[in-house]
Amino acid sequence: MPEGHVIHRLARALTERFGGRPVRSSSPQGRFAEASEILDGTVLSRAEAVGKHLLVYFEGGNVVWVHLGLIGKFRFVDPGPLLSPQTLRWRLWSDRAVAELRGPQWCRLITSEEAERVIEGSGPDPIRADADPQRAWERLSRTRRPVAAVLMDQKLFAGVGNIFRAEVLFRLGIDPYLPAVDLPREVFDELWSDLVALMRDAVGSGRIDTVAGVHTPESMGRAPREDPHGGEVYVYRRAGFPCLVCGTEVAVADLSGRNLYWCPSCQPEGSTGGVQ
DNA sequence: AGCTCATGGCGAG
DNA sequence: TCGCCCTGAGCTG
């Protein structure tokens, strides 16, 4: 269940544990069997992430393009008997490690040329050094869609998911329903740099921690609220609980089929963030 | 045992 | 905008 930081960590781990060496490959479930057989015994050169896309490169020009979707998991496991083979799409192993892919939205064998197009087709990814936020600004500043919807658009903010969008809007005090076109340029710049900081931090820690500065739960006299995803957050999945900053009940609403969380007092209607 | 929901995205209307 | 796909955790009974 990934936002971009999970994919970047995966790419790093796959490169560290398998990079530059031959790997074994199988598809116990059978749905990736043909491709898996081609890769079996070949050298995995490296893995790379762009947004929520994972690209696993093999010598000879083969690339596995993985997208975990909402429920996919790619995990390292201890060597041992095969558990639940009916859901095990891809198993990758060597004498050093075993990795298991289950429930991905897709897992396809492509060429390195196609992989290049996946990277080019992605929006800027705040975690990557080559990201150009100007590309996001040019599109954001021309749409009246709510800024909360735009933040989930992978052509503008690759790797941002439901947690990062809710948290970054809260941290900057922005009304999630503000038409994107009304967001001042200087606030966009703050938004982008906050995403860079939060997302890169999450790559390092493996969890999304957004509660920082003077408004820690401790300073508010409340027990820290840890979300099941493992990190500590202001509003994500906290509907009905008091805002950690002002005590107002956190709100939730459906926005294009996803739950949106925000504090109606800290992010009042029409607020463009910045200096309140 | 069965239901609901989840850090996502696609394609049909 | 809705239904659908993939899996598994956390409820409810």
pLDDT in tens, A122-160: 999 999 999 999 999 999 999 999 999 999 999 999 999
Measured in angstroms, what separates residue A71's CA from nucleotide C1's C1'?
22
Where residue A219 falls among pLDDT bands split at 50, 70, 90? very low
Q: Considering only residues 157-196 of chain A, list those whose CB is below 7 Å from strand C.
A: none
Residue A6, CB, strand B, below 7 Å: yes
Where residue A212 falls among pLDDT bands split at 50, 70, 90? confident
Q: Considering only residues 103-132 of chain A, list those whose CB is below 7 Å from strand C.
A: 103-105
Residue A84, CB, strand C, below 7 Å: yes
For the cut 50, the answer to whether the pLDDT of residue A224 exceeds it is no
Measured in angstroms, what separates residue A139's CA from nucleotide B12's C1'?
27
Minimum-distance residue to C4 (CA–C1'): A105
Q: List the Cα angle A16/A158/A92 in 5-degree steps.
A: 30
Residue A62, CB, strand B, below 7 Å: no
Residue with tokens 């298991």: A100
What three-state secondary structure class fits A103? coil
Residue A153, CB, strand B, below 7 Å: no
For the cut 50, the answer to whether the pLDDT of residue A217 exceeds it is no
Cα–Cα distances in angstroms (integers) from residue A205 to residues A4, A8, A164, A168, A208, in the given order: 13, 12, 15, 18, 8
How far apart are the C-alpha atoms of A163 and A210, rounded to whole Å?
A: 10
Mean pLDDT of chain A: 93
How far apart are the C-alpha atoms of A183 and A271, rounded to whole Å?
A: 9
Measured in angstroms, what separates residue A134's CA from nucleotide C12's C1'?
49
Tokens read off for A85:
């083979």
pLDDT tens-digit readout, A161-188: 999 999 999 999 999 999 999 999 999 9
Measured in angstroms, what separates residue A271's CA from nucleotide B11's C1'?
36
What's residue A231's pLDDT?
A: 77
Q: What DSSP character marks residue A30?
A: S
Where residue A230 falls among pLDDT bands split at 50, 70, 90? low
C-alpha of A171 from chain center: 18
Q: In terms of Cα–Cα distance, which of A147, A161, A139 is closest to A269?
A: A147
- Chain B positions with a protein C-beta closer than 7 Å: 6-10
What sign results for the dihedral spanned by CA atoms A120, A124, A127, A132?
Answer: positive
Residue A29, CB, strand C, below 7 Å: yes
For the cut 50, the answer to whether the pLDDT of residue A220 exceeds it is no
What's residue A216's pLDDT?
A: 47
pLDDT tens-digit readout, A90-111: 999 999 999 999 999 999 999 9
How far apart are the C-alpha atoms of A79 and A93, rounded to whole Å?
A: 9
CA of A68: nucleotide with nearest C1': B8
